[in-house]
Chain A
Amino acid sequence: MTTLVRPALSLIVLMTLITGAVYPLVVTGVAQVAFPEQANGSLLRDDSGQVRGSRLLAQPFSGAGWFQPRPSAADYATVSSGASNLAPSNPALAKRVGEQAQALYVPAQGPVPLALLTTSGSGLDPHLPPAAVAYQLARVAAARQLPLPALQALVEQSTLHPLVGPPVVNILALNAALDQLAPASK
């Protein structure tokens, strides 16, 4: 048995040093030099240097003058993130979606896009499909007293078109740009 104990113990220690210490440290070193912005959480700062969030994490918005992100089952908690885990057959899902649809429905614009009625997997989805942004355009334009074409242009600028995924708009970036264009009344 002693012929097994020494290799077992020394190899677990050696592997711990190589894969648990050297490897993450090398990745950190290279990442901090090559991609410091992303490696530190894609932080969004204002002019005074104050951190206002991360471009990758959704924030809650209340008020007609802001674009609303996907609903969050964990109320946009970051520690810890969470999902509803509601089954399609769970009556609680139909009830919640129905209530949310009542609140958001604009007869002139047709049925409410599903992205605005369903919670995301992470509860922190920073994006919306363009159609779900378009559904909110008239409301935001009216609240900010902005001409609709100006707002449409802003949304189009913020739309990403990856080749291997659906087009999306980053809602936090859009709201930050919106606040530069026409600050919300405090």
Chain B
Amino acid sequence: MHSYDYALLLAFFALVLLPAPWLGRFYYKVMEGQRTWLSPLLGPVERGCYRLAGVDPATEQSWKTYALALLAFNLAGFGLLFAVLLLQGHLPLNPQHLPGQEWSLAFNTAVSFMTNTNWQSYSGEASLSYLSQMLGLTVQNFVSAATGLAVLVALCRGIARRSASTLGNFWVDMTRATLYGLLPLCLLLALLLVWQGVPQTFTDYVHALTLQGADQVIPLGPAASQIAIKQLGTNGGGFFGVNSAHPFENPSAWSNLFEVASIILIPVALVFTFGHYVKDLRQSRAIIACMLALFVIGGATALWSEYQPNPTLNSPLVEQTAPLEGKESRFGTTASVLWSVTTTAASNGSVNNMHDSLNPLSGMVALVNMMVGEVIFGGVGAGLYGMLLNVLIAVFLAGLMIGRTPEYLGKKLQAREVQLLVATLLVMPVGVLVLGALATSLPGPAAAVSNPGPHGFSQLLYAYTSASANNGSAFAGLGANTTFHNLMIGLGMLIGRFGYILPVLALAGSLALKKSAPVGQNSFPTHGPLFVTLLLVTILLIGGLTFLPALALGPVAEYLSLGL
């Protein structure tokens, strides 16, 4: 590692941690409808939206109505996107005259963007019109992140409120999250990215005559505006096929720093938002500490692994340094690993290097980050509501150990809450192990792998983990654009999204109804180092027990066979 590597790591942590307390408070004020400096500008837009949609912002919803509203809105978004993708050949803003997507691919893409996954079985520059990218994908990039944020604040209210039957209003939460929470930051990031070299134009692709006289087509488009939200909204779907490895999507070391920090900027801030809801910032600091510990353990392991030269390339003719296959020169090893760890810890899924070519243990860190359920900062909203589920499980385990009714912040956890928690524990095993086993054991689907040996299995394992965790990154050699994988990966994404959202809302509704018991001397404190350790162990144990056998067959077997 050189001085610029340390400078990058320092700048990254400074950019995501320093603004978090301020930004977290801003999100609390915005979601609770308090006045901020953006209100004079965006207030009229917000009120106009409610008037046109026939929404009364003062009316609150029970958890069931909140969930139905969320499902109706997501269904409408899916329908619109599915139609745009199928029909793009007949729609305007299509300078390259690209045809519509095949139905199973359009289904996969529409589910993928609606669920904030952004798994991509297509290459943007070769198959999507400017209209599909803008009116179709960019919109879902915004509202899927806003949906995650809405579910999070519903859960926060459920924990904070006493004897309440409502959780807020989904229409209001979604609108505020989009307008105040995402748009202003995206405008700022998009312009920073254009300054660094990301295109933003509506002109046709340009034909160039190369220095040696060959023909070269230069793909363009409104890229910066979409890349900004794909990073900030933990979406991850690239404008170009190779995502943020593409020099137009991520032109320099500086654009790389801005993009990688944007991945977890909002998820880190939201932990403080939670602290404001429950009026106890010590809880936020404990959760941040646990997330940071998991992030640093994974990051350090992946960095160490990725600096090992590949032993199969050992020859006196070949320089023996950290592997560069699938990596860009302007990023090098450290920036590539930092991105891989961040994008899988948060459910972003954009890549600046090809995960298929990572050393086995660095690839395994990416897998583990997703397998623990995207709770290490995680997606916008989704990361923290996933983490709060783990917090409740840890509290339940602590309650079993000391023989008292478990309670979190004064709320007793009883049979119904524990049943709902267990339901969410089943999401990842079903999505990864059941669907993954199906894909691996059927000869047709299994033929999609492109690498021999254990790594081929890892490719399928990665695909179904990425889908169920709503991440969207891939071991991209996998030929996933088949009807089977398009439909099954689509199913995995739906299970991974709504398998969490519905129990979380039910849990929020159930917690909101409860009275709050005073936090007494006998309550188990949930902000000290003891609880952070218990939480850490809970997360690793649940993930470890479920996925260790699968990891042993994939990355661990590859690691041992390489003799690294």
Contacts and interface: CB of A to CB of B under 8 A. Distances in A.
A79 B217 contact: yes
B225 A81 contact: no
Given A28-B222, A88-B360, A111-B318, A175 B211 contact: yes
A168 B194 contact: no
Given A31-B191, A89-B451, A93-B325, A121 B312 contact: no
Contacts of A55: 197
B326 A164 contact: no
A185 interface: no
A53 B208 contact: yes
Contact of A40 (B199, B208, B240): B199
Residue of A86, A101, A115 contacting most chain B CB atoms (<10 Å): A86
Given A23-B138, A162-B252, A164-B253, A10 B54 contact: yes
Interface stretch (A123-131, A141-149, A150-158): A123-131
A28 B201 contact: yes
Given A50-B209, A114-B318, A120-B329, A23 B198 contact: no
A19 B183 contact: yes
Interface in B18-56: 45, 49, 52-55
A3 to B, nearest CB: 9
B200 interface: yes
A101 B316 CA distance: 10
Nearest to A37: B197
Contacts, number: 384
Interface in A7-31: 7-12, 14-16, 18-21, 23-24, 26-28, 30-31
Interface residues of B, number: 128
A55 B248 CA distance: 10
B524 interface: no
Contacts of A39: 194, 199-201, 224
A86 B241 contact: no
B476 to A, nearest CB: 5
B52 A113 contact: no
A23 to B, nearest CB: 6
Contacts of B352: 121
A138 to B, nearest CB: 17
B206 interface: yes
Interface of A: 4-12, 14-16, 18-21, 23-24, 26-28, 30-32, 34-35, 38-44, 50-63, 66, 70, 76, 78-91, 93-94, 97-98, 101-102, 105, 110-115, 117-129, 132, 162-166, 168, 172, 175-176, 179
B375 interface: no
B191 A165 contact: no
Contacts of B222: 24, 27-28
B316 to A, nearest CB: 6
A33 to B, nearest CB: 11
B171 A27 contact: no
Residue of B199, B331, B351 contacting most chain A CB atoms (<10 Å): B199
B374 interface: no
Interface string B193-234: 011111111110111111110101111101011101100000
B216 A165 contact: no
A64 B202 CA distance: 39
Interface string B46-79: 0001001111000000000000110011011100
Nearest to A15: B143
A81 B242 contact: yes
A50 to B, nearest CB: 6
Given A19-B142, A118-B325, A83 B197 contact: no
A82 B45 CA distance: 42
A4 B353 contact: no
Contact of A81 (B11, B127, B240, B321): B240
13 contacts: A20-B139, A24-B138, A35-B195, A41-B248, A80-B240, A86-B326, A88-B558, A98-B315, A110-B319, A127-B328, A164-B257, A165-B252, A165-B335
Contacts of A66: 211-212
B562 A88 contact: yes
